[in-house]
Amino acid sequence: MEGGWEDHLHFGLLGEHVLVDGLHLDSAWSFCLASILTIFICLSERVLTYAISKKWNPFSSRRQSRVGTALWRSCLYWLVTFDRLLYMLIGMTFSLGLIVVAITTLAAGQFVIEYLDLAPHNSRDPEHVKEPLLPSPMDDRSSSEASSSYPPSRPNRPRSRSKPDSIFIHPNHSNIARADAAAVQLGLSGDTDLVKGNVYPADGETWEHGRGRDVARELLLGR
């Protein structure tokens, strides 16, 4: 096309206008000025984008109304949108050199943003999370002393053994058998619940050798 403008990507300096009147891409010097302008616009866009993402407000120390906060954030959004439209217009010159400058500047700004977001105090990466140290023997000793001091420890008492389901008690060592014998001597046999149904050997009758356990069982079970 005539008039110093091409509708495709190119590296030539064909005299394209770059945003403002008087800035034409017709020399190396004008290209450097256009590159500086592009870098400034792209960096300001990244800074404003970071400020919006962090909800930065220079008036945060003061008590500000909801309307004031919303107005401030809207102004930041207006500025960042204006910057984005400006570097879009720079890209519409189809100058591949300025496009590379804009992309490189935006990528460098994004690198700084990512680096700040990945700071150690904000990192959630498991590799950067410090695990708690294991307690040392001295810590265990101090904690055991503290726990032993308060509350006071109770003396250890031996646990009582559970009584077996079936156990044989000799009549001489049984209070029930002694009570039954006393009831028999008093003539109360058969009148009380303890001695009812129990039969004891007659006077003079002795236990046979080796059958004491069987005789005691018969006496206790009322057989």
Q: What is the pLDDT of residues 51-93, one digit of tens each?
A: 999 988 887 777 778 888 899 999 999 999 999 999 999 999 8
- List the domain range (segments joined by +) for residue 97: 43-56+66-119
Is this prediction's pTM over 0.75? no
Count of domains observed in the chain: 1
Q: Is residue 145 part of a domain?
A: no
DSSP state for residue 182 in the 8-state scheme:
H
What is the model's pLDDT at position 168? 61
Q: Is residue 49 part of a domain?
A: yes
3-state secondary structure of 201: coil
Q: Is residue 50 part of a domain?
A: yes
> What is the token pair recorded at 191?
């009148």
What is the model's pLDDT at position 123? 46
Q: Is residue 15 part of a domain?
A: no
3-state secondary structure of 27: coil
Average pLDDT for the chain: 75
Q: Is residue 216 part of a domain?
A: no
Q: Is residue 208 part of a domain?
A: no
Q: Is residue 106 part of a domain?
A: yes
Q: Is residue 11 part of a domain?
A: no
Q: What is the pLDDT of residues 89-127, one digit of tens each?
A: 999 989 999 999 999 999 999 999 999 988 776 445 555
